[in-house]
Structure formats: structure tokens, C-alpha cells
Amino acid sequence: MPYTYTQFDSSLSLAMIEEALLNQAIKSVLTEIAKRLRAEVLAVLQEKETSKARPNLKSLAMQHSKGDKFLGALLPFHSEEELEKTLEGRSLLLSAIDKCLDEANNIHTCNEFLALMKAIDGMAFVYDEFEREKGNPLHSLCKDYIAPTADEVGIRSRRPGDLLATSYGIGTAIGSDLVPANATVNSCLSGKARFFILPPQHRIRTWFEKLADQQAIGKPSLPLIASPSNATAKVFMMAQGMGLFLHDDQFNLDKAQIFANCVMAYLVYSGHHYTI
């Protein structure tokens, strides 16, 4: 039986994770990036915390706590409120992220890969906040180039009821791999459990949907290619701003491709969206 697009993307994400766990070249790229983030982003966040500035840890606390049941959470037995609002919880959260980034070269399981990519993803949100606070015009320009437009964000709609996913990947069959939040089966929160794509008749078509429409010239529609999500955009805005893909001041395509593959594997396996 031939694969559907969702089956193909989900299988591809798992294969990429398995390759990352075995391939030292991939681990070396992730380790190098994690080392930079630990020294240049997390260290600044820790310094702000030590100086009693009380930086915003809400997104990090949400990612790594038990509240939303996300895959790869570093502290799944602690509440979001504890990790964000208590002194002990905030210290525990920053220490856990620090340890995860420091041990990037020692990932051996799927969950360890997801935890590392989640830590990197979290640093992208922190970096974005830092750059916006500084009013960095280059960061704003990069955001204009990469981040999704309001129309692109608008194609997603929040599900009316809370659901959890019982499988990895991006299948969205309610009653099959999406179950009510109070279900007793092993499950987690993901993008597919929280959002769905509105059909075009209930919203304004995006520019790429209009471009793909070939009816005016009597041809079938072109395949749709998804634009970056906010999460994806922030990761690559950070990579651009910090020069994470440079080697001796030259753009290293291999490093960029490896990292992009890992971001794809993390987001698709966690059920957020299609490959980028």
C-alpha cells in the first residue's frame, strides 16, 4: 500500500532521529551549536536570573514541565507554575537545560534527541526576546524574511476541545491517534492535538495557495509547500543572527542541512507540522 504524505513525513522524521543517534557527524554539529547556545544565550539568561532581574521563563517552563505533556520535557514531574514562579523551580529548570546542552554529544535515545532539540528550540525563543529587547534592526529584518505572515498563521485554528496525541508524527485522526485530554492511555500534547488547518472556504487563501492555483490556465494545482512555523522561524533567525552555520566566515551548507534535518525530525516527530 503506498504511503500518504503524512505517513511519509512521519516515517522520515523517525529515520532522521535514528540516524542522528548513530552518526557522529550529526552529533558533532548539534554539539557545536549547543556549546554556542550554552555560552552565549543560556549564560546571559542565568546571569539575569542571578542578578534578580527575573527574566521571562514562561515558555521554557511550559516546554519542560508536566502540564502540557510535551515529548522531550526535561522535568516532566514538575508543574509549569513551579518551574516558572518558584526560586527553586527556576534554578532547577535552568540547571536542567544547561546539563542537556552540555551533554549534547551523549544522546543515545529518541527522548534524549527530542530533549536536546527542545532545549535548542527554547534558546531560540530566549534569543528572540533578547534581540527584540535590544531593538536589533537586523533581527527584525530577518524576521520579516523568515517568519510566517499573519495570513499564514491564520490558516491554523485552535481545536475547540483539549486533545492529546497517542502516536508520534503528524497523523490527525480523532479517535485513532487523537484522544480526549482526560483519556487514561499514554499520550502527549502536540501541535496536531492543539490546532487544525481551516479549509480555504472558511478563510482567506495564503499567497502560496493562490500561486499554486492553476485553474485560470486550465492546469491542476501545484503541490503546496508549507511555510515555516513560528517555532521554525525563530530557530533559523537565531542561527542567522549568531552565525551558527559559518566556518572560517564562510557559509557551511553541510552544517546548515544537518541542523535543518534535525529541526524537521524534532518538529514532525513531536506532531507539530510537516517537513520544512
What distance in Å separates the CA atoms of residue 156 and residue 196, rounded to the nearest whole number?
A: 6
- Structural domain includes residue 183: no
Q: What is the pTM of this model?
A: 0.85
- Structural domain includes residue 19: yes
- Structural domain includes residue 45: yes
Q: Higher model confidence: residue 190 or residue 23?
A: 23
Burial pattern 179-213, b for ≥16 Cβ within 10 A else e, equals: beeeeeeebbbbbbbbbbeeeeeeeeebeebeeee
Domain membership of residue 86 as a residue range? 5-138+225-269
Q: Higher model confidence: residue 204 or residue 12?
A: 12
Start-to-end C-alpha separation, the chain: 25
- Structural domain includes residue 186: no
Which residue, chain included where needed, has cell 532581574? 53
pLDDT of 104-133, one tens digit each? 999 999 999 999 999 999 999 999 999 999
In the chain, at which residue ranges do the beta strands (DSSP E only) sit? Answer: 156-158, 163-165, 178-180, 195-197, 246-247, 250-251
- Structural domain includes residue 275: no
Tell me the average pLDDT of the chain: 86
pLDDT band at 159 (very low <50, low <70, confident <90, very high): confident
Domain count, the chain: 1
pLDDT at 5: 62
Q: Higher model confidence: residue 102 or residue 70?
A: 102
- Structural domain includes residue 111: yes
pLDDT at 273: 56
Average pLDDT estimate for 165-184: 72
Average pLDDT estimate for 69-93: 91
What distance in Å separates the CA atoms of residue 264 and residue 63, rounded to the nearest whole number?
A: 18
Contact 119, 100 (CB under 8 A): yes
Which residue, chain included where needed, has cell 553541510? 254
pLDDT at 2: 46
pLDDT of 39-55, one tens digit each? 999 999 999 999 988 99
- Structural domain includes residue 216: no
- Structural domain includes residue 95: yes
What distance in Å separates the CA atoms of residue 98 and residue 87, rounded to the nearest whole number?
A: 17
What distance in Å separates the CA atoms of residue 44 and residue 37, rounded to the nearest whole number?
A: 10
